[in-house]
Amino acid sequence: MSLELDGDAFRRLAERTVDLAARYLGSLDQKSIVPGTRGRKTQALFGTPLPEKGLGAAAFDAVNTVFAQSMAKNGRFFGYVLGSGEPVAALGDLLASILNPNVTAWRSSPAAVTVERTVVGWLAEAVGCSGFSGSLVGGGSAANLLGLTLAREARAPANVTGAQPGVVYASSEVHMSIPKALSLLGLGSQALRRIPADSQRRLPPGALDRAMAEDTAAGRRIIAVVANAGTVNTGAIDPLEEIAQVARTHGAWLHVDGAYGALASIAAPERFRGLNLADSISLDPHKWLYQPLDVGCVLYRDAQAARAAFAQSDAYVQVLEEDPLETFAFFDESFELSRRFRALKLWLSLRYHGLSAFRDAIRANLDDARALADSVRSTPELEVIGFGDLSAVCFRHRGPANASADEVNAWNLALLQRVQQRGRVYLSNAILEGRFCLRACITNHRTTREDALAVVPEVLAAEKELETEQK
């Protein structure tokens, strides 16, 4: 069997694929969110031997089973921080794979490189950071790693001689991708100094300033401050302007982890004042720009810092005489060489809908989260534990009368599992000050007000079930 398909065979397969996709989208709202499967079942269904002889079009028969064994992310999916997979962008992904440019440098892929640089510029402008440049990556973790690589090379150069010790600061609410990045960079996760967050779960600038002064006095090398523009648990936004001031005073690089929240500044810029004072920023369009996985974005103020960290040759210097657009290479500003055309989905999605549609959707998510938090507050059995500046609501059931703290935690864990099993809404969890919470995070363009208000009745119904079983 030849690997090449004739035109008709391709068209038939593609039509079948589009039909499946359209049916799926049409039935999403009625589906149970969880597939109700088990590890043994998926192993039996998919852990089959590699076929020596091709199945032809019959290979696609099993795609239905893949869909059926997956989570259906309709408007009531509120788990983790997960975007909802906007379908125009999904078509962009298909076209990107068909065209298959290798987005290394303008010389290899003139259109794709220019589209990506344009889209990155659009994102920067949309979050109030005009003039920043950067690149699209696999997600927020990769964007944080890239930002911190720039920071390390700017403040404690290591590319040639290896890593030297240094300190990086963040609040105790920092995402795990930050210590992971420090491990990868050879600084060690111990280099992260976690400043206890305040009662709003934000990084207190005063405590940051004292810690930095202390480390400087002790002769430690200060590398960077990582500020949160939306903590993963509760969506807290650190006071970016004040933190930028403290970072500047102590000569630190300022990286903002905006993987969850920074794109919300499209709808609520007043909450992100100071974002444009960062040296580098991570964004995650596959979260709050509703793009299909995967697409993250790193932005930086000074492309020269990216070249200092990543360019392995002096080639970029030698060709200065030439057209800078035509000599541009992403590999001079990133650890990636071969790169896929992630920008096409974003480009089509933003052009199709326009920025205002995204602004409206983000604003609706913010409003719906507030409505959800209010509905929890007006339910005597429930309490809000953490609701920060964005769209994540952490809450819990107060538990049976006279229950101990451990028992209330266990009750809420059982409650969460029951809510998930019921398949009507999907919540994940967070542990805040030792308290197990149910967590709803709305970064979903399909969510309606009705969907958001379905959470409390679902939790109460699940609780009824648990109570009945206990009797």
Ligand X SMILES: *Cc1c(COP(=O)(O)O)cnc(C)c1O
**Which spans of this chain sit near ligand X (rule: CB under 6 A)?**
81, 139-141, 144, 175, 177, 230, 232, 257, 259-260, 284, 296
Q: Which is nearer to ligand X, 262 or 454 (CB)?
A: 262
Whole-angstrom distance, CA of residue 81 vs CA of residue 347:
22
Q: Which is nearer to ligand X, 259 or 416 (CB)?
A: 259
Q: How far is the CB of 203 from ligand X (least distance, A)?
A: 13
Q: How far is the CB of 79 from ligand X (least distance, A)?
A: 12
Q: Which two tokens stand for residue 428?
A: 């994940």
Q: Which two tokens stand for residue 432?
A: 């805040």
Q: How far is the CB of 407 from ligand X (least distance, A)?
A: 30
SS3 160: coil
Q: How far is the CB of 74 from ligand X (least distance, A)?
A: 21
- Cβ pair 191, 197 in contact under 8 A: no
Q: Which two tokens stand for residue 280?
A: 């580098």
Q: Which is nearer to ligand X, 106 or 260 (CB)?
A: 260
Whole-angstrom distance, CA of residue 222 vs CA of residue 154:
11
Instruction: List, in order, residues 6 or more apart from 25 with CB less than 8 Å away.
Output: 87
Q: How far is the CB of 392 from ligand X (least distance, A)?
A: 9
Strand order in the sheet with 435-441: 382-387, 392-397, 435-441, 428-432
Q: Which is nearer to ligand X, 177 or 276 (CB)?
A: 177
Q: How far is the CB of 374 from ligand X (least distance, A)?
A: 24
Whole-angstrom distance, CA of residue 82 vs CA of residue 364:
16
Q: Which is nearer to ligand X, 46 or 335 (CB)?
A: 335
Q: Which is nearer to ligand X, 112 or 232 (CB)?
A: 232
Alpha carbon of 223 to those of 210, 211, 247, 410, 466: distances in Å? 16, 13, 10, 41, 51
- Cβ pair 162, 322 in contact under 8 A: no
Q: Which is nearer to ligand X, 169 or 328 (CB)?
A: 169
Alpha carbon of 90 to those of 118, 252, 279, 324, 445: distances in Å? 19, 39, 32, 32, 14
Q: How far is the CB of 259 from ligand X (least distance, A)?
A: 4
Whole-angstrom distance, CA of residue 424 vs CA of residue 38:
19
